[in-house]
Amino acid sequence: MRPKVPYEKKKKRLGRGTGSGTGKTGGRGQKGQGSRSGVALTAGFEGGQNPIYRRLPKRGFSRARFREEFAVVNLETLRKLEGIEITPEVLLERGVIHKLEAGLKILGQGEPLKSMTVKAHRFSKSAVDKITKAGGQAIVIAAKKEQAPKKK
């Protein structure tokens, strides 16, 4: 059974008597900024006190912003598209992938039925082995690198 979608949930009825559990103050507590109408507190707001994310020292370096996300497809999925040359454009057209991200990566889960030519930006080792074993080709496409403007 599927879980209920958010819009099927019943709305919490506030201020409907003391027996309801949300009577009188309507779930807002007693006094303070949060009990007033029109309150819009941001995440991490601590009532004017310097928030914890500003009190703690900032250290280290993260490569997260340089991470490349690839659109990932298994060989199992490509079995349905046999007989044609498989490229990122074809997969986008057919709705197999919705966004190309940094490129297309083929993973080796599943077995290809016949030989096929697959063009992608990256392949896993098992995917290359299975494609070549079936008599096909795994062709690596060069990724488009966006160059930053040079400083003068």
Domain-located, residue 126: yes
Domain-located, residue 93: yes
- Per-residue pLDDT, 1: 64
Residue range 16-65, pLDDT digits in tens: 999 998 999 999 999 988 899 998 989 999 988 999 999 999 999 999 98
Total number of domains in the chain: 1
Phi/psi zone of residue 92: left (φ > 0), alpha (ψ -120 to 50 degrees), beta?
Answer: alpha
- The band of 84, judged by pLDDT with boundaries at 50, 70 and 90, is confident
Domain-located, residue 85: yes
Residue range 87-115, pLDDT digits in tens: 999 999 999 999 988 899 999 998 887 88
Domain-located, residue 57: no
Domain-located, residue 77: yes
- Per-residue pLDDT, 70: 93
Task: Kindly report the CATH number assigned to the domain that includes residue 126.
Answer: 3.100.10.10
78-113 burial, b for 16+ CB within 10 Å, e for fewer?
beebeeeebbbeebeeeebbeeeeebbbbbbeeebe
Residue 111 lies in domain: 67-140
If you ran DSSP here, which 8-state letter would residue 84 be given? S
